[in-house]
């Protein structure tokens, strides 16, 4: 083969890998949109289905619990299923869940539809991360995973505002119907662009033995607390902006777009940093996140400084995501799909813990309540920092 032919072949492989990654990104976008868009449509859903707004809010809780509980179960149950076939099955199930939501005649059916869609979340990102990492050279794995996770960031920046607008203008069912259509497009991309991937078919006992390792457990705790601090603050970002900083309520969506831009930047560059120095970059970003959350307690008194802080908060918030995912893959190479999926569940557990701790701070009026939520978030993140230091010590012992 001539040098020119080799270059052309290499270029074709690179283009194929890029298109495959974009298919995974679109799938991630659809899943992220279905998870978060309900927050902007609670009033419409509550009114149409004749339930209270808090009752409608349980649709969010039901989805999150569905993700956390189902992710490892589905991964173990489909252990011997080819990775691409599993990915296609999950996307078909996701489409079915959103199609059911679009025609749900009552609250119970809508809750069922949300849970069906949630069943796919953890396993899709777990399997997708493994496939994304396998599409590129080893030194670019974190960057590839970051590209897939951009789908989640775009879901927050573009998908949720668009879905909210669509639901308010044409009814909330139109939003879920649109998500189902996006899912169909993603499915076609996965069918034609993602290559078949050889999967490990370890026995259940072997899989569980791998994820019980201290290094894997510490990696999962890094995710729970490193990301838990993000949601301790972000869950209550709207009341902070309105009640403390003094922004008008209609300014909050635009500020969240700024946060979303920060998320996108953090996701991309966090992946690049992780490809260079994985654990040191994670430690640095988590320390940066801790500082930003602590500083937020002071800057939230001033609008301009708040905008800058929110932007930096976005960068730090998702700067850890690709690195945390790759670290779990590195510590559990013999069971990558299960470990990766457990890490997605760990992200959701961190979300739940963060939201609960932040709410507890407000309800108990600890340190004055709402004004100290960001301080509380910083303390949660410090636990993630300590687990990261522990992981670095484990790595030194293995190398010595």
How many Cα atoms sit within 13 Å of 157 on the Cβ side? 17
Stronger pLDDT, 220 or 47, i.e. the higher one: 220
Identify which of 310, 291, 292, 318 has the alpha carbon closest to the alpha carbon of residue 244: 310
What domains can be seen in the chain, in order of their start residue? 7-199 (1.20.1250.20), 202-400 (1.20.1250.20)
Report the pLDDT value the prediction gives residue 160, as an integer from 0 to 100: 77
Assign residue 367 a region (left: φ > 0; alpha: ψ between -120 and 50; beta: otherwise).
Answer: left
Report the pLDDT value the prediction gives residue 202, as an integer from 0 to 100: 57
Greatest distance between any 2 Cα atoms in the chain: 72
Average pLDDT over residues 318-340: 83
Residue 200: pLDDT over 60: no
Identify which of 184, 77, 158 has the alpha carbon closest to the alpha carbon of residue 122: 77
Stronger pLDDT, 209 or 306, i.e. the higher one: 306
Q: For the segment 362-378, what is each residue's pLDDT rounded down to a tens digit?
A: 777 776 778 888 999 99
3-state class of 137 per DSSP?
Answer: coil
Q: CA 271 to CA 277: how far, in whole Å?
A: 10
Average pLDDT over residues 138-153: 82
Report the pLDDT value the prediction gives residue 199, as an integer from 0 to 100: 60
DSSP 270-316: HHHHHHHSHHHHHHHHHHHHHHHHHHHHHHTTSHHHHHHHHHHHHHH
pLDDT grade for 254, boundaries at 50, 70 and 90: confident
Q: CA 74 to CA 86: how far, in whole Å?
A: 10
How many Cα atoms sit within 13 Å of 361 on the Cβ side? 24
Determine contact, residues 270/314, Cβ cutoff 8 Å. Answer: no
Other Cβ atoms less than 10 A from the Cβ of 83: the count is: 22
User: CB neighbours of 299 closer than 8 A, spacing ≥ 6?
Assistant: 305, 306, 308, 309
Of the candidate ranges 116-125, 140-149, 216-225, 301-310, the one whose mean pLDDT is the lowest: 140-149
């Amino acid at each position: 083969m001539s040098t020119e032919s080799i270059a052309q072949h290499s270029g074709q492989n690179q283009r194929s890998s890029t298109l495959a990654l974009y298919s995974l990104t679109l799938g991630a976008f659809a899943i992220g949109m279905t998870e978060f868009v309900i927050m902007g449509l609670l009033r419409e859903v509550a009114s149409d289905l004749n339930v209270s707004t808090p009752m409608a809010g349980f649709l969010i809780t039901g989805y999150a619990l569905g993700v956390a509980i189902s992710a490892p179960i589905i991964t173990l149950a489909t252990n011997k299923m080819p990775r691409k076939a599993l990915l296609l099955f999950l996307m078909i199930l996701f489409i079915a869940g959103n199609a059911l939501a679009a025609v749900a005649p009552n609250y119970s059916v809508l809750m069922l539809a949300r849970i069906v869609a949630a069943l796919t979340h953890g396993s899709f990102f777990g399997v997708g991360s493994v496939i994304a990492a396998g599409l590129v050279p080893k030194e670019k794995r974190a960057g590839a995973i970051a590209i897939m996770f951009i789908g989640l960031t775009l879901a927050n920046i573009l998908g949720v505002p668009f879905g909210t607008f669509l639901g308010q203008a044409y009814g909330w069912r139109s939003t879920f119907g649109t998500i189902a259509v996006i899912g169909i497009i993603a499915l076609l991309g996965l069918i034609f662009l993602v290559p078949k991937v050889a999967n490990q078919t370890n026995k259940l006992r072997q899989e569980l033995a791998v994820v019980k390792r201290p290094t894997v457990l510490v990696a999962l705790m890094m995710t729970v607390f490193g990301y838990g601090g993000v949601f301790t603050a972000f869950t209550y970002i709207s009341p902070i902006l309105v009640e403390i900083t003094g922004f008008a309520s209609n300014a909050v969506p635009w500020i969240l777009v700024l946060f979303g831009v920060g998320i996108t930047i953090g996701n991309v560059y966090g992946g690049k940093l992780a490809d260079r120095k994985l654990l040191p970059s994670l430690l640095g970003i988590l320390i940066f996140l801790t500082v930003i959350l602590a500083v937020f307690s002071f800057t939230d008194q001033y609008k301009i400084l708040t905008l800058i802080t929110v932007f930096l908060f976005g960068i730090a918030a998702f700067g850890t995501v690709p690195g945390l995912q790759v670290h779990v893959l590195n510590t559990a190479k013999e069971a990558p799909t299960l470990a990766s999926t457990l890490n997605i569940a760990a992200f959701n557990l961190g979300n739940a813990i963060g939201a609960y701790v932040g709410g507890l701070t407000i309800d108990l009026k600890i340190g004055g309540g709402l004004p100290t939520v960001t301080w509380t978030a910083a303390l949660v993140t410090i636990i993630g920092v300590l687990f990261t230091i522990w992981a670095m010590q484990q790595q030194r012992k293995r190398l010595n």
